[in-house]
Structure 1
Amino acid sequence: MRLTPEQAAIIRSAAAEVFGSDARVWLFGSRVDDAKRGGDIDLLIECDQPIANPAFSAARMAARVQRGLHGRKVDVLLLAPDLLRLPIHDIARSQGVSL
């Protein structure tokens, strides 16, 4: 995994602020592969409760992480009971790393 412990802590903290302390955070994509270089940070946020305004919440999460990581590009994918589950959600969970 190509994140420092400090970066992982910033991401977990932002997820707790935006989605609550029960939110689960998964890192997936190129940042999981230690052999690769560069790349954005792809995150799956998994919540047990519905998310009232998912687009706004995802943007808020991305903005908080980007500020905390000095402008590093962040993509946020949400999974909640009220949201459509897509194949990308299963890929992120199966290939990702829980933070």
Structure 2
Amino acid sequence: MRLSDYEKSVIFKAITAEDANAKVFLFGSRADNNARGGDIDLLVLSQHFDKQKLRAARWRILEQLGEQKIDII
């Protein structure tokens, strides 16, 4: 996994601030230690995570990590 502990913490806190029971999975090139570059691809499993909560979580992540390409599905 090519995320620092800080990045993982920011992502987890941003998602769980919107739904404490959400499960977050990293996939794509950032999940592969041998890959280079790439955006942050996240899969969020939640029964309560709607588009508004997705936008709020993305904003929290960008505030902490700076401008990055982040895909949340």
TM range (shorter): 0.7 to 0.9
- Determine the structure 2 residue equivalent to 1:59: 55
Equivalent-residue separation in structure 2 for 1:7 and 1:14 (angstroms): 11
Q: TM-score, normalised by structure 2?
A: 0.87
1:31 matched to which residue of 2?
30
Structure 1 runs (4+) greater than 3 angstroms displaced: none
How far does the alpha carbon of each residue in 1:4-47 deviate from its partner, in whole angstroms, 9 at most, with x for none? 1111010010011112x211110011101111111110111111
CA-CA distance at 1:68 after TM superposition: 1.3
1:71 corresponding residue in structure 2: 67
Deviations 1:41-87 (A, max 9, x none): 0111111x344xx222222211211221111221111xxxxxxxxxx
Bigger Rg, structure 1 or 2: 1
Where structure 2 has 5 or more consecutive residues not aligned to the other structure, the ranges are none
Q: Secondary structure at the match of 2:15?
A: helix
Distance 1:50 1:56 in 2: 10
Q: CA RMSD in A?
A: 1.3
Gaps (5+ residues) in structure 1?
78-99
TM-score by length of 1: 0.67
Kept in 2, the 8 Å contact 1:61–1:76? The answer is no
